[in-house]
A and B are shown apart, each in its own frame.
Chain A
Amino acid sequence: MIRDTGVLLRHYLRQVFKQKYGLVITAAQPLFFLVLFGPLFTRIGSWEVLVPGLIIQLGLMSAGMAGFGIVVDKRFGVLDRLRATRTSRLALLLGRVLSNAAVLLVQATALIAVGYALGLRAPVVGVLLGLAMVIVLGISLASLSYAAALSVPKSLFPSLASTVVVPLMLLSGAFLPMSMAPDWLYALSRANPFTYSVDAMRELFAGHFLTPTVAVGVAVTAAFTAVSLLVGTRIFGRANA
């Protein structure tokens, strides 16, 4: 399984990095927020609060939309061709999601580098731990995106994905900390697993490593990823997927 995952990962990464413009365009929106919204935001907050939020936004826009790729593969029979080989369903899924996570890692690193140029001063250890969370988040988001793309009619997936992404992004507190929200909105945000990821990443970027917020964020992100992979693998192996 590990060998097949590696073969698929190399194949998909080669495809992705051939399309350099696609990589840049996906990362452009959070970069716009960083450059055009960051200077405004830092009048009330800090770069260490904003950048983790923008990384979550990037994750939702990048790995969260990964399902588009499988819609094409399903339509053209590529998915069935691969499923008819001895390759395990988990490897078929992992090869894809790891490539999505790797792309997200590159994009998030670029975002952080621009953030540093603008005034971000997060400790290196915090940034590295934050990037580790980004990889895990990328795996989870891409798995769910593939599961959704294989579960709904292909014409519905683009609008469904973009509709789901917006409330997840807003409720995560990506743009403003949810501690500023009214009670009902704050309560709603607690049902969003990405809220805990953002909170933990903000703590890490602030240089606070061993805090309950980080522990809860890591636990929620890891649990959410395990569930996402399970769901993704089941749907990948489903008879009519």
Chain B
Amino acid sequence: MTFKGGVEAVRGISLDVAPGEIVGFLGPNGAGKSTTMRMLATLLRPTSGTATVAGHDLLSDPSGVRRGIGYVGQGTSVAPFTPIGEELVLQAQLAARLGLDEARARVRELMALLDLEGLEHRIGASLSGGQQRRVDLAFGLLHKPSLLILDEPSTGLDPASRAALWEHVKGLGITVLLSTHYLEEADALCDRLYLIDKGVVTASGTPAELKAGRTLDEFYLEATR
């Protein structure tokens, strides 16, 4: 992926994620993690390369990709001045093509699952960071995607909110591709990890394979030195 002005953000990344796996991206800021995730979510068009996402070709069938994935971007996507219940119902109507009543039922179901009950009339700006990220997760799950893409979903959250968020992610039972800066979380949560640096994959494997007798912190510091 090369941006205008010649900045090459991602160069020849090759990855595969099996159904049901939780796969993590690690890497320093600016490594190309978000660019890769935005490409896989059809928000950026790659300048070269191919990918099949949720069974659909990224370039020839972006609409099919969008039907199969849930995307939770870096930073919240909760509208600051609209009641979150309204935004969730809108998202359900658009992403899942549900009628109004079905959309409301699906929103109630997800709000209960994500401990958001009673917040539907609150505007986005009035929620805590942890609540906002759980609403973001709800946005990504409304249409029951087969793949969930989470770009640093726990950044900026307090430890309790982070733990609650990851508990929800673990309990989903769907394929997840996530990025995080919290190595202990990646270690505990992910089946496999990809280390990305300067736009290329520099290491990949299960957490145990990457650690090889070290802590994941030690591996990461060595690998990104």
Binding site for B on A (CB under 8 A): 3-4, 7-8, 11, 14-15, 72-73, 76-78, 80-88, 239-240
Indicate if the CB atoms of B95 and A77 lie closer than 8 Å. Answer: no
Min Cβ gap A213→B in Å is 42
Q: Is B112 an interface residue (CB 8 A)?
A: no
Q: Is B75 an interface residue (CB 8 A)?
A: yes
Q: How far does the alpha carbon of A4 sit from the alpha carbon of B143 in the complex, in Å?
A: 15
Min Cβ gap B107→A in Å is 14
Interface contacts (Cβ under 8 Å), in number, total 66
Main secondary structure of the interface of A (DSSP, over half): helix
Shortest 5 CB-CB distances between A and B: which pairs?
Answer: A77-B77, A81-B77, A85-B95, A84-B71, A86-B66
Indicate if the CB atoms of A84 and B42 lie closer than 8 Å. Answer: yes
Q: How far does the alpha carbon of A11 sit from the alpha carbon of B66 in the complex, in Å?
A: 21
9-residue interface stretch from B85-93, B164-172, B178-186, B189-197: B85-93
Q: Is B82 an interface residue (CB 8 A)?
A: yes
Indicate if the CB atoms of A11 and B90 lie closer than 8 Å. Answer: yes
Indicate if the CB atoms of B78 and A76 lie closer than 8 Å. Answer: yes
**B1-60 at interface with A (beta carbon < 8 Å):** 3, 41-45
Query: What string of 1s and 0s marks CB contacts (under 8 Å) between B64-107 and chain A?
Result: 00110101010111111010001100110111010000000000
Q: How far does the alpha carbon of A4 sit from the alpha carbon of B94 in the complex, in Å?
A: 6
8 A/B residue pairs, CB under 8 Å, sorted by A = A4-B94, A72-B80, A77-B73, A78-B79, A81-B77, A84-B41, A85-B91, A85-B143
Min Cβ gap B59→A in Å is 12
The residue in chain A whose Cβ has the minimal distance to the Cβ of B67 is A86
Chain A residues with Cβ below 8 Å from B44 are: 239-240
Chain A residues with Cβ below 8 Å from B124 are: 76
Q: How far does the alpha carbon of A7 sit from the alpha carbon of B139 in the complex, in Å?
A: 17
Min Cβ gap A238→B in Å is 9
Chain A residues with Cβ below 8 Å from B143 are: 85
Min Cβ gap B34→A in Å is 11
Indicate if the CB atoms of B41 and A76 lie closer than 8 Å. Answer: no
Indicate if the CB atoms of A73 and B79 lie closer than 8 Å. Answer: yes
> Known contacts A3-B97, A84-B42, A239-B43; can you find 15 more A-B pairs with CB under 8 A?
A73-B79, A76-B79, A77-B73, A78-B78, A78-B87, A81-B71, A81-B139, A84-B41, A84-B66, A84-B69, A84-B71, A86-B94, A88-B63, A239-B45, A240-B3
Chain A residues with Cβ below 8 Å from B95 are: 85-87
